[in-house]
Structure 1
Amino acid sequence: MQTIQTVRGIRRKYRPTARCTPSKKEPEQFRSARTPADGFLRHSFLPLFEMGKKIPDQFQVENDFFNSLALLTGLYGFEVLDTTGKSYPYNILLAHCHAQKQLNSLGRDIELSIMQCNNGCVKLATKHIYNTCNTLYYIPVLPLYKLLQDRKQKQTAELLLSVFAYLYHIAGIPYYREDNSYLYYHYECMEE
């Protein structure tokens, strides 16, 4: 005897998916001139600004900053970005970023920062960076030793000794005979 399927609704027949019928009206001709896919790339964003507890007076800060920027442009000879249409904190940030880019494009190793004095005036400060390219520096102690032996140069030797102490303790320039210095290794190799 042959078994007959009791439930016939398990496998349904293939039907094409139902779609909306197209409208008979033509679409309106309001389209953008370009494709919007690259619109994100063409947009320029303002730099991030985190609001502090107290914002300084706008007129004083803008006046001090742009006076300082004018002195800087006179010294290094680059152009200032026009920020007349920007709001208060962003005009200073944009001018600062543009000035830093101009200094970098001139080939100068200058770091530009905004400083505020104790009396509230805002100024631009430059920090000149000298790259030593991993050159090792050591304190030459033989001239200091000769100065310390001379009784006539005692005050000069004591002043120079304080400078050497600063370089050794604060700046971290090692003495050439320290066990962990690079130059000590070479002296040790030559002695052996």
Structure 2
Amino acid sequence: MNETKNNIGNYSATRRKKAKTTAPTTHGICRMDEVGKRQFGNKERQAEIGSGIGTSHAFLNTCFMPKLKEDKIFSWEDKLHITKIERGFYKSLSLLTKHYGISPLSTHDFNYPYNISLCLWDIQKQLKSKVQNCENMRLIEKEDEIFFVAEERYNTGATLYYIPVIPLYQMLRNKNRKKTGLLLLSVCTYLYKIADIPYYRQEDSYLYWIYEMLTEWLEQDEEVDDNHISKKELQKAEIIGDIMEQKIACKENLLFFEERLKKFKPKDNFDKECFLLAEKTFKLYGEYAEASVFRNTYYNNVVRPEEADNDEYYNEEKVITMDKYISFFAESDGLIYDNLMDCVNNEFNEYGEAQEPMIFKTFDGSNVTDENLDFESRLFGILNELCRLLN
């Protein structure tokens, strides 16, 4: 990423695991790991090089059994143990396929260990293509038991979900957009009060700390006077931010949500998009009246702390926590915005992973949870659309 010309002060952070790339400072939805691909040379396809002799390709057209990767689970030679492995495997497989509604490949005609290897390959392929948010599937051996564990994880796409409030403030003051603004205000109230989206004027929020750091840098810079544009932008962010938090925190916006939807008459495409977004949000609110965006998140993405290395788990935060990349903020324009994005990028560049909603399901004969990531999938879609409309 090219450095912003108008930087304020210097930023440093404790070094952590490097992320692949940096979030560009662009308007709207910001990508944390987007990178352009360059192509070199002639765009025309190169001429295919083939043999001048009409030889047979029988070898290349032959399908071979997959080469089995050596693993502790499949290394036992004792026939009794093999029978036990197969019995536990197919029992757990039956539970998994029933839960997800998929049909496994018939592998009973293959000998061990190829029957299990082929089945694993087939199940992983089906889960990836047919089951939303199914990130990973593992075969676990524990206390002489063999069973599947499936990981469902919502991929946030390495995106910064920063919702600007100054554009909404301006809509509410515009008589031609006030009704549209009130509709989006109800959406924001749901996100703030029910979904627990952080607000940048709250002292315990991540972006509050970033804005405070920018304020300190400006105060320490002798060349920046009170009339400098950066100071004016910060004052604007503070004053309007406090006003909008009071409006967004008002629970009456939820009480009037349905009424505002019924009375709203779109005047143009923008109004239609806002109306559709509000409809989706109201429906989600009705189905998940108390669900928080953080309900399926775990420290360092470790679902079972007892299975993690204690030093690794407790001593260092290794992932970008969700409250850092989801938040209300002032606006996506100006010098303060550019410097804020630089600060965020500098810190996020020290991490290798982001905290994301995740669920683990164990198919060992115990009751399998019916939980899913439907709420998260729909909520992040709403956040994405709201950020786009307000930018």
The TM-score with structure 2 as length reference comes to: 0.28
**Cα distance in 2, alignment partners of residues 76 and 182 from structure 1:** 38
| Corresponding position: 1:55 with 2:218 | no
Cα distance, 1:43 vs. partner? 2.3
The residue that corresponds to 1:169 in the other structure is 317
Change (3 A) 1:179 1:50: closer
**Cα distance in 1, alignment partners of residues 123 and 95 from structure 2:** 12
Cα distance, 1:137 vs. partner? 6.5
- DSSP-derived class of the 2:150 partner: strand
The unaligned stretches of length 5 or more in structure 1 are: 1-34, 146-165, 185-192
The unaligned stretches of length 5 or more in structure 2 are: 1-53, 163-196, 206-298, 301-315, 326-339, 348-391
Cα distance, 1:175 vs. partner? 5.8
The residue that corresponds to 1:116 in the other structure is 141
**Cα distance in 2, alignment partners of residues 82 and 171 from structure 1:** 40
Aligned pairs for 1:40-119 within 5 A: 40-51=59-70, 54-55=75-76, 57-110=81-134, 111-117=136-142, 119=143
The residue that corresponds to 1:128 in the other structure is 152
Which protein shows a greater Rg?
1
The residue that corresponds to 2:344 in the other structure is 181
**Cα distance in 2, alignment partners of residues 38 and 48 from structure 1:** 21
The residue that corresponds to 2:333 in the other structure is none
* Offset from partner CA, 1:8-34 (integer Å, 9 cap, x none): xxxxxxxxxxxxxxxxxxxxxxxxxxx
Cα distance, 1:128 vs. partner? 1.1
The amino acid that maps onto 1:116 is E
Change (3 A) 1:41 1:109: farther
The amino acid that maps onto 2:66 is P
- Name which structure has the greater RCO, CA cutoff 8 Å, separation 6+: 2
Change (3 A) 1:121 1:144: same
Higher helix share: 2
- DSSP-derived class of the 1:115 partner: strand
Q: CA RMSD in A?
A: 3.7
- DSSP-derived class of the 1:60 partner: helix
- DSSP-derived class of the 1:123 partner: strand
Change (3 A) 1:52 1:98: closer
Identity of aligned residues (%): 30
| Corresponding position: 1:37 with 2:56 | yes
The amino acid that maps onto 1:181 is V
The amino acid that maps onto 1:171 is V
* Offset from partner CA, 1:39-75 (integer Å, 9 cap, x none): 2344222222244575272111111111111111111
The answer on whether the counterparts of 2:100 and 2:131 sit within 8 Å (CA) in structure 1 is: no
